[in-house]
Every structure is written in structure tokens, then in C-alpha cells.
Structure 1
Amino acid sequence: MTLSSIPLVMVGGFLLLTLVVGLCASSQATTFRAYAVDNKRYSTALLTITLLATSIGGVSLLTNVIRVYHHGLHWMIHMLFAPIELWVINRVALRTGPLMEDLSIADTIGKVYGKCPRIITALSSIFYCLFIVTIQIDALSLALTMCIDAVDSRLVTILATLTLVAYATFGGIRAITITDVLQFITFTVIIFMLAKLMFSKTGKSILEIASFLHKQEKFQLSGSDHLQPWNLFLLVLHHCAFIFDPILTQRIYMSSSPIQAKKVFLYASFLQIPIFIAIMLIGLFFFVNHPGLALSETKIWTYIMTHLPPAFKGCIAISILGMAMSTADSSLHVCSVLVGHDMMESIRGITGPTACAHQIRLAKLTSIVTSLLAMIIVFYAHNLLELLISSMELYESIVIAPLILAILGFRGSARTALIGMATGALTILAWNKWVIPSINIEGDFFCIVANGLAMMAAHYLLRQPANKGWTGLDHRHKRMQQLIQAFKKYKKD
């Protein structure tokens, strides 16, 4: 075995291990609920790990290292604010009791607002999940191109995608959850190893590095406009705008209770921080080691790879592979649930035990078709990031406001929800066309606010059915609040 073939052998071994673990962990689902959420039988630790693995995609390592190198302190602050999304969900998780019997976001929207909002939610979520899968396949394709010289990287990308499809389709959510644990442990260990290696390559102590960075303009606190209160406020709004990602929110539906969901998102929000710091340090140490390189963003990782031993190149390929697969498999699963459960029930109106087999078959077929379509888009489309941002903005503007209102206890009509969804979609289109060119402020949070305000205006200004409006706390939430208050009183005494 030559040195150049070591990364290929390591990647092949990791893919084989992932496939074996996924297929061994698979379980045959007899109901669609078992296929979608595995009857909620996961521990808090397991759900926390799979949430972390899903939330940190392959793009996280590739782009964040590059942007820390080029943008310095600005991007480091951006990374440190990223866990806010999970923390905010933790704060409202106790209100998710009514969601516990649902299988997806579209399922929740449908039960609260009706069939048409459910279909719109499902379509926008499918569109978003498709491009999440696409961007992850593109990330692992880029990683394999940089790390493997012996064969065509496209062949290895196809092999990795087929491995992903095999365990995600035939193993179900349990196989996805168990492989997420393997992938999370793998890429976390490698990220910290790479950070340590990059630190040793600087040949400097921590104090010397701090003194060096203090002299660099892009790392100076006083010279950064991004530390101004207004910019920090906008950064918080940006991260709060996407608090109910359809893929991460699926972990709420997999939780056995609101209390478990709260714990899962709380733990994950804190455990994200050291991982992001390690990724940040990789870019930081690379800058300290090579401060004067005039490299474009696409050339940074290529330069890093050329100065690493073959075994470490293989480790980085495995790390990005694990990060990408752990996000893509969950996205495929959400797509399959949305098509097999929400679209099938909404369009054909088929429910009951007799429909389970058809729903599961359709869900598995959806997983296969989605992954193949994503692979085609990767190989033949351009501007994948723009497509992902567009799908994200569409989802944010349409879905998040009705979902948040539903969690807070609002029960509106289909007309109310459709008015809000249309307002949110039109707001983001107008914002991107006229506001961003003028003030360069992202409009995702503001389109969510516009959606919510339009729903409230429609509800109070138009005639509504008698059973629509705000509901009180459900009995589970009341009981949880009583327990929390009793615990606080006990600690105080």
C-alpha cells in the first residue's frame, strides 16, 4: 500500500463500518409512527448526541476555518452565537406538549391550521431538506477531492451517498440515530486532534499567539464594528430567526416528553460551544502559521492538505464525511416522513392501519429519490449556496411564525395561516429586492415578524369560527410549572 492510497483506504473502512453499524442497528417498522420516531424510546444522552451530530454539518468545518482565516474576530463572534438557536428552543420546549403526538412540523401545522397550510409547510420543508442533503454531498465531494488522489473523487462520492441511502432507507430512524453516534464521536475526536496539530505547527506559546493576534487588525476588539451593540443585536436576531429547523425539530417529536426535549436542546446548546471553539482554533492557528498567504477561499484547504501527512488527510476526509452524513441522513428521513405521512394523508386522505405499509414504502422510495436528485444537482448545478439560502428563506418566511404561535397556544383558521404565509413570503422577496441593496441587513427575522403580525391582524379583523383563538396551558404544562416552582421553593428553603 502506497502512502497516497492511505486516505482512500481509511475512507473505505469508515464507510464500511458505518454501513455495518447502520444495518445492524436497523429495526423493521410495522407502523409509520415506529418508522418516523421509533416509538420515542431514546435516552436523553442518545438524543443529545444525534442532535449535535445533525446540527454540525460537513460545511461547518470547511467554511468556518476559511472564514476565521479571512474575517478574523467577526466570524469568531458569529460562531460563538450559533448555539443560541438550540438554547431558544430549550426555552420554549416545555410548551411543546401538544406536539408530542405529531410526527413532523407539517403534521403540527395541519392539526392546528388545516390541510392547505399543511401541504405548503410540507413542500417548503421538503425543498429545504433537499438542498441540505445537496450541500452536504457537495461538502463531502470537496473533501474527497482534496484528500484522495488515487481515484476519481466522484466515484467515492457516489459510494458514500449510496452508503448513506442504504442505512437511512432500510435501517430507518434507529439506524440513523446509532450511526449518528458513531459519526459524532469520530468527527469530534478528529477536530480536536487537528486543532492540537495546527497549534503545534505554529511553534508558539499561547501568550505569543495572543500577542501576535493583538497586532492584527482583523483580530482587534477596538477596531471591529461587529462588536457594536446594534450589530450584536442583529446577529442574535439572525440566529433566532431559524430556531425551528425542520431537521432539528424532529428531535422534539422523537422525545418522550417536553421535559426530555428541554434537556436535549439545553445540553446540545452548551456542548456545541467547545466543538465550535475547536473549529475556530484550527482557522486561528492556521492564520498564525501563515498570516500572509494571498489565497482564495477555495485554496485554503488545498494548501492545508498539501502540508499534512497522508494519515491525517484521511482523518480529515473521515471527519467531513461523518459530519456530512450525520446531517444528510436526518434530512433524508425528514423528507421521507413529510412525503409518506403528510403529503399522502393530505392529498389522498389515506389513514389507518391499512395505509401504513404503503406509507412506509413511499417514505423509503422518497429517501432514495431525494438522495439521487441531490447527487445530480451537486454534479450539474451551480450556486448551491444560493439555492440553499433561498430555500431557507422560503421556509423561514412561511412556516416558523405559524409554528411558534401554535406552540404558544394559538389556534387559527386555515385562512389566517395562509394570509400570514403569503405575507411572509412576499416580505422576504421584497426585502431581498429593495432593502438588502440599501442597508445590507438580512430580512429573515423581519419576515417572520411580518408573518406573525399578519396572522394576528387576520384573526382579529376577520370573522373567525367559534373554536379559534388562544388556548390556555395544557394540563401537562401546568403540572410541569408546578413541579418547577416546587423545586425552586425547595432549593430556596
Structure 2
Amino acid sequence: MTYFNISLCIIAAFLLLTLMVGICFSRQKITFREYAVGNKQFATATLVATVLATSYGGGGFIRNVQYVHKLGLYWIILVSFVDSFSIWLFSRLMLRMGPFMHNLSIAETIGNVYGKYPRIITALVGICQSIIGIAMQIIAMVYMVSVCVGLNLVNSQIITILAALILIAYSVFGGVRAVTITDILQFITFTTIIPFLAWLMFKTTGKSIVEVFVFLQTQEKFQVSSLRQFDMNLSAIIAIALCIMVPDIGAPEVMQRAYMSSGAHQAQKVFSYVSFFSFLIIGFILLISLFVFVGGGVGLPSEAIWHYIIMNTSPLFKGMVCISLLAMAMSTADSCLHVCSVMVSHDIMATIQEEIDDVRKLKIARSTTLVVGLASMFLAFYCKDLVELLMLGFAFSLPVVTAPALLAVFGFRGTSRTALIGMATGALAILVWNQWVEPVTEINGAFICMLANGLAMMAAHYLLKQPESAGWVGTSVITIVKTF
């Protein structure tokens, strides 16, 4: 049997197993709350696994391996220290989520604080961001199937569409329980394979760890002195680092996992563990890229990195690498699909019509899953640049939703007018930045536009007449400092 057939068999077996697990843990007769966040009695280990599976997608894996090779120490600091620190900050914020833990989505939290129009806007932004996230995972699946199995583009797309339809199927019928259980399966899959891949890439270098370290020190992009060279490239990296470092409480798929916790203390514990284990996962991903840099040679182009990895693995392991990437992509995509279905039925339709029973909500949610999945496929086949889609995702979430969400968590209770002024300011700022500033500077403006959103909200609150109920509730400078 050729490696082509072996890899295809491994992929087919993994997809079949995923479908069976998803269907087995699906429940037909459930309430909408159970569909959205389950029974809120999940074990901490289960929540840690599903958060990690959601957070680390196939697109990010491919991108990080390529960009460590391309940018060196800049990208290592960005994805290791900054990302883990951001998750740790997120865990601190969870201690302040007590008043909102009964919610089903971040859009509902925004609605409880600022009213129905900010709630609808938050849901729409979250849906767009989720579609972008799913598209990134579909692109990753197409790419890895074509590289690992050696199929042409059309056949790779067919397998990817099949994988997408499988995750749509169990997301439609099973709700968050099926998504969570399949996430655990996918988490076990990729966390088992990634360390073996790192070890295999180390063996291809033909060097000891000390020799690898000495070699990297001779390369300018991996020297600490390169960080002191302040130029436009460094400014662009800092801008992205700030976007990653902000606890993106507006990310709907991550917040959905927080709402699945029994309370704020469990949520805090979950994300504290996630920050630790994420550091380990990122560490292995960085090692893969460093060993490829050493073994493949300095002149290896970024586009050829994954071809080099696959060419230096056995026929059996080619299939294992492929299902590892599929597991990472599917575990992220199904979470985004699920949260979209909740926001459409619970935050948009229920807000507009106000009285919708659980049966109708579930029908709307399941129809939404199918529509969003198909829309994501269309976007994936239209735009194939993972970094471009990552920046587009930042442009949706940070400038519009993150500032109002952070202020709400810290105790700010504003009016709909205040929130809408901030959201409009952030949206207009990012449009202007992307049109005129970024083409010249190549610096992402999502973080700056998020600050503009928050400042506009504070200006509107203190300069315009407000009702007595508006203002800061149960928050002081001292408590904020203690939280962090």
C-alpha cells in the first residue's frame, strides 16, 4: 500500500470517528439553554480541553510555523509570551464575570448592560468574526490535505468539504455537548502528534540541542540585538502584539466556553490552566519551526516549509500530521459554528421578535449552522491568505466590541447611546485606518481603534446628560488593581 493510500485511510478513519462521536453524544430533545451552554456542570478538565481545542486552530499552526521561520525572535515573543500572558489576563477578568455567568453569549451580556441595539451589533460582529475564523480553518484543511496526501486542489477541496459537512452535522444536531466531546477527541489527537512531530524535526537536523542553539545564535533574526533595531517592521509587530495581548472578551467562541462554567471561580480556574498549557503547546509549535529552520537551511522559503516537513516524515506519519491539522481546524470551526447559531437565534431573532419558544429557537439555530458553514466555505475559496484573514478578524472584534465589553466587566453601566457612540467611533476609525494609514505604515490599527472606542464612550458618558442609573457600579481603582 502506497503512502497515498495509507494517508487517505488514516484521514477517512479520523473523520468517521469524529462523526460517530459527534452523533453518539448528540441529544435531540434538549432545551435551548442546554443547546447553547449545556448543563453548566462540566468538569474543569473538560472545559480546559475544549478551550484549548477552540483556541488553537489549524490556520494558526500553519501560520506560526511559517512566520517563526520568516521573522525569527520577533514572532517567537509574539506568539509565546504575549499570547500566554493574554490568556492569563483573561483568567483574571473571569473573577469579575459573576453578574453575567447566567448569559448565553457575549452579545447578551452587552445587551444586559447597554440595551438591545448594541446587543444586535455585537451579535452581527461576532458572526462576521466567526465566519472569518471558520474560513481560516477551511483554508488550513485544504492546504494540509494537498500537502500531506499529494492530492490536486480539486480533490483536496472535496475532502475539506466533506470534513466541513461532518462538523456542521454534529454541530447542528448535538449542540454544545457534541461540540465539546468532539473537541476533546480532537484535542487529544493534536496534542499527542505535535510533540512527536517536534522530535522528528529535531532528528532531521542531525545536531544536538546545544548545536541547534549555537547555530540559531549565529542568525541575525534570532539574536536579541535585532529587537533593539526600531523600524517600521518592529512597529508592525508591536501593533499585532497589542492586539493579541488585550484580553479579547469580545471573542464569542471563547466567551461561550466561559459561560459553560458553573460560575466565575471555575471560569477563572479554567483559563488559568489554559494559559499554562497553551505555553506548552506553543512551545512545541515553536520547536517545530526552529528545527525546520536549522535542518532545512536558511534559504528555505516559507512556502516550502510544510513540504519539507512532510518529505521528512514516514508514510504513516504523513497521515498523522494531516489529521492533527484537521483536528485543530475542526475543533475551532465547530465552536465558531455553534456560537453563530446561538447569536442568531438568541440575540438577533429573539431580540427583534421578543417571544420565541425553545423549539423555534433550536430550528433557527440549526438552520444558521448550515448557512454559516456554507458562507465560510465561500469565503475560504475566495480569500486564501491566512494573515490577511487574521487582520480582518482583528478589525471586526477589537475596534467595535472589546472596549464596551471590558468596561462592562469593570462595572461601567452606560446607556445605549453611549455604547453606540463608542461602537460607531471604533468602526469608523478602523475603516479610516485601513483605507489611508495602514497602506502607508503597514501597521495594524485595531488596538488604537479599540482605544478610540473606549475614549469616545467615556467622553459621551461624562459630556452628555445621563440618567441616574448610568455610571460605575461596584468598582473602584483599588478593586481593579486587586483583580490584576
Superposition TM-score tier, normalisation by shorter sequence: over 0.9
Would you say 1:290 and 2:296 are equivalent positions?
yes
TM norm structure 1: 0.91
Letter in 1 for 2:259: Y
Letter in 1 for 2:146: T
Would you say 1:237 and 2:238 are equivalent positions?
no
Per-residue deviation, 1:130: 0.8
Per-residue deviation, 1:472: 1.5
Report SS of the residue matched to 1:243.
coil
Number of residue pairs matched? 472
Letter in 2 for 1:195: A
Would you say 1:40 and 2:40 are equivalent positions?
yes
Return the alpha-carbon distance in structure 2 between the equivalents of residues 214 and 196 of structure 1: 21
**Structure 1: gaps spanning 5 or more residues:** 485-493
Conserved 8 A contact 1:183-1:323? yes
In structure 2, the partner of 1:456 is 458
Listed as ranges, the matches of 1:275-314 within 5 Å are 275-295=281-301, 297-314=302-319
Return the alpha-carbon distance in structure 2 between the equivalents of residues 387 and 217 of structure 1: 29
Conserved 8 A contact 1:419-1:458? yes
In structure 2, the partner of 1:250 is 256
Conserved 8 A contact 1:73-1:220? yes
In structure 1, the partner of 2:105 is 104
In structure 1, the partner of 2:327 is 322
Aligned match for 2:412, one of 410, 413, 435: 410
In structure 2, the partner of 1:490 is none
Aligned match for 1:175, one of 170, 174, 178: 178
Conserved 8 A contact 1:29-1:35? no
Q: Deviations over 1:253-302 (max 9, x none)?
A: 1111100010011110111011111111111111111224342x332212
Would you say 1:358 and 2:323 are equivalent positions?
no
Listed as ranges, the matches of 1:44-193 within 5 Å are 44-80=44-80, 81-149=82-150, 152-193=155-196
Per-residue deviation, 1:25: 1.6
Per-residue deviation, 1:3: 2.8
Q: Deviations over 1:172-223 (max 9, x none)?
A: 1001111111111110111000000011111111111111111111111123
Conserved 8 A contact 1:221-1:227? no
Conserved 8 A contact 1:51-1:248? yes
CA distance change for structure 1 residues 379 and 223 in 2, over 3 Å: closer, same or farther?
closer
In structure 2, the partner of 1:271 is 277
TM norm structure 2: 0.92
In structure 2, the partner of 1:334 is 339
Per-residue deviation, 1:242: 5.2
Per-residue deviation, 1:375: 1.5
Return the alpha-carbon distance in structure 1 between the equivalents of residues 17 and 107 of structure 2: 34
Return the alpha-carbon distance in structure 2 between the equivalents of residues 227 and 51 of structure 1: 36
Per-residue deviation, 1:439: 4.5
Per-residue deviation, 1:137: 0.9
Would you say 1:346 and 2:351 are equivalent positions?
yes
Q: What is the aligned-residue identity percentage?
A: 49
**Structure 2: gaps spanning 5 or more residues:** none
Per-residue deviation, 1:447: 1.3
RMSD between aligned residues: 2.2
Return the alpha-carbon distance in structure 1 between the equivalents of residues 67 and 150 of structure 2: 26
Report SS of the residue matched to 2:428.
helix
Report SS of the residue matched to 2:39.
helix
CA distance change for structure 1 residues 448 and 382 in 2, over 3 Å: closer, same or farther?
same
Return the alpha-carbon distance in structure 1 between the equivalents of residues 40 and 333 of structure 2: 21
More displaced 10-residue stretch of structure 1: 448-457 or 263-272 = 448-457
Aligned match for 1:393, one of 392, 395, 400: 395
Letter in 2 for 1:173: V
Q: Deviations over 1:14-49 (max 9, x none)?
A: 011111111112223532111100121111111011
Conserved 8 A contact 2:399-2:427? yes
